[in-house]
Structure 1
Amino acid sequence: MEYAAILLAAGYSHRFGSDKRLADIDGEPMLLATLAGIRAALDTLGPGPAEPGRLQVVVRSRDGLVGRLLAGQGGELVRAPAWPVGIGASISAAAAKLASLDEPPRALAICPADMPFVRPESLCELLRHCAADKICAPVFAGQRGKPVVFGRCFLGQLAQLRARKDWERVIRANPAALCDVPVDDIGVTLDVDCPADFHRAKRRGPGDRRPAALHTASHGGP
């Protein structure tokens, strides 16, 4: 497998005040808007959208609402452990599944569900740029953003993350592997933690997130 992605959707939105995964982006829940961009990038990069493990969506251990919302959307649901709770536990649950495959991905994108304005072509660029021994992060206007893409060599470290440690722990342990990838995409810096972030992101985020924009660009590369 060349490319895969993990969509982190098991958070509790404490700072948002309600379930931000369901917040409206252009008439659809934020979670589905983010998922559509990731799926468009993976489908553009090569055949095999149904390949096991290609897209993993991590949800809470007991989350029937989002489970139903994701039905038929593509991707494999991974249930985060009920305890310990934390982003590291989510990453570990999905990365362990990928590491156990006969052919683990060469490059793995870790994508927060609260970043719906990342352009699919930016994710394509990160995945294409990443080698097995590299970690690639997007940079817009001098600011490092997300998603972050990890080469195959780091799957084991991601699979061992503890509950409250995120991918930054792996980056700090492997500073020479980090590669900044410039992108013309403010969306990589627009994550949503609270309602003010959400309204700011909607004002500043790219107006056209449709997969058609990616397919047009993909003829000559992103």
Structure 2
Amino acid sequence: MNDAWTVATSRHVPTFSAVVLAAGLSSRMQGQHKLLLPVGGQPAIRRTVSAIAGAQPEEIVVVTGFRGRAVMDALDGMRVTFQSNPRYEEGQMTSVAAGVAALGAPCDVVMVCLADQVLLDAADYREVIDAFAAMPRGSILVPFFRGQRGNPVAFSASYAAEVISGHVNPGCRKLIDEHPDDVIAHEATHDRFTIDMDTPEDYARILARLGVSAAVASGLGGPGQAVPT
């Protein structure tokens, strides 16, 4: 890392880069790859990355692993950097470390995003960055809704080396307990930060929330189709 990683304290609104975790096995999705399932007219991973891109990050790194080529194909034409994680089966933290290590653009904040949080939109990601900028103290922000921890987690880019080495794990459930002076909980006004898509039941609930039936969704999925608002 170099001086580009130094937090620019003079800026009111920090710049940020996003690491998107898209390497998992989808082991609870009964044989389907959750990130390739159609949601709102396009693969889930493309919907998520489009929302993140709408928040105007400096850079987006997508960490791939299981069925990495299919994930890359689903994002064809998008301005992202792909980083393969050959150790993805060892756990999510290996993907976080790989993604953060692959960042190249200067930024103040790193946001670690889950690829299956398909209900989040660009304004939600901006909300996290705005909340980070407004923190009275601390260097790590974790969203919550009614006591339930959510994602994405945002942390000062000055932590990058420690995250890469594994000394700080922004995805750890004990993060707040282990770093009470560094972590701020952001209480959200909606539950979208706490919803991901691990099981067929999760998928069905998300489609219902979007007003799309599973039968209709199964006929969609082209990466060029628009996302309904």
TM-score range, shorter chain: 0.7 to 0.9
Q: Verify: 1:173 aligned to 2:178, yes or no.
A: yes
Q: Distance in 1 between matches of 2:211 and 2:83?
A: 30
Q: Which residue, 28, 34, 37 being the options, matches 2:48?
A: 34
Letter in 2 for 1:143: Q
Matched residue, 2:9: none
Is the 8 Å Cα contact of residues 34 and 115 (structure 1) preserved in structure 2? Answer: yes
* Mapped partners of 1:142, 1:32: distance in 2: 29
Give the 3 Å change call, closer, same or farther, for CA 182–119 of structure 1 in structure 2: farther
**Match 2:100 to one of 95, 101, 106:** 95
Structure 1: runs of 5+ lacking an equivalent: 44-50, 214-222
Q: Determine if contact 2:24/2:88 at 8 Å carries over to the other structure.
A: no
Task: State TM-score, norm by structure 2.
Answer: 0.74
Q: After superposition, where does 1:114-133 map in structure 2 within 5 Å?
A: 114-130=116-132, 133=138
Amino acid at match of 1:185: H
What's 1:12 paired with? 25
**3-state SS, counterpart of residue 176 of structure 1:** coil
Distance of 1:206 and 1:126 partners within structure 2: 26
CA–CA distance in 2 between the matches of 1:166 and 1:5?
13
d(CA) in 1 for partners of 2:139, 2:180: 10
Counterparts of 1:190 and 1:183 in 2: how far apart (Å)? 13
Deviation string, structure 1 residues 140-198 (Cα, Å, up to 9, x no partner): 23432111111123212221239xx7621655432221112232332111111111112
Q: List alignment gaps of at least 5 residues for structure 2.
A: 5-14, 213-225
Measured after TM superposition, the shift of residue 79 of structure 1 is 0.7
CA distance in 2, matches of 1:114, 1:96: 22
Percentage identity across aligned positions? 26
Q: Equivalent residue of 2:181, what SS? A: helix
Alignment coverage as a number of residue pairs: 197
Larger displacement relative to structure 2 (11-20 or 177-186): 177-186
Q: What corresponds to 1:141 in structure 2? A: 146
Q: Counterparts of 1:95 and 1:184 in 2: how far apart (Å)?
A: 29
The structural deviation recorded for 1:84 is: 5.9
Q: How many Å apart are 1:74 and its aligned residue? A: 1.4
Q: What is the one-letter code of the residue matched to 1:68?
A: D
Partner secondary structure for residue 181 of structure 1: strand
Return the letter of the residue paired with 1:8. Answer: L
Residue 161 of structure 1 corresponds to: 166
Deviation at 1:41, TM superposition (A): 0.9
Counterpart-to-counterpart distance in 2, 1:83 and 1:5: 18
Q: Deviations over 1:66-125 (max 9, x none)?
A: 222222111101111246632111111111233xx473x211111111111013212102
**Which has the larger Rg?**
2
RMSD (CA atoms): 2.9
Task: Check the 8 A contact 1:8/1:110 in 2, yes or no.
Answer: yes
- Quick check: 1:146–1:188 contact (8 Å CA) kept in 2? yes
Q: Distance in 2 between matches of 1:102 and 1:40?
A: 17
Write the distance in 2 (CA, Å) between the matches of 1:97 and 1:76: 8
In structure 2, how many angstroms separate the alpha carbons of the residues matched to 1:3 and 1:88?
20
Instruction: Give the C-alpha shift of residue 206 in structure 1.
Output: 9.4
Letter in 1 for 2:39: I
The residue number in structure 1 matching 2:191 is 186
Contact residue 157 and residue 170 of structure 1 kept, 8 A = no
Relative to its length, the structure with more helix (as a share) is 1
Aligned equivalents of 2:190, 2:54: Cα separation in 1: 16
Q: Secondary structure at the match of 1:167?
A: coil
SS at match of 2:189: coil
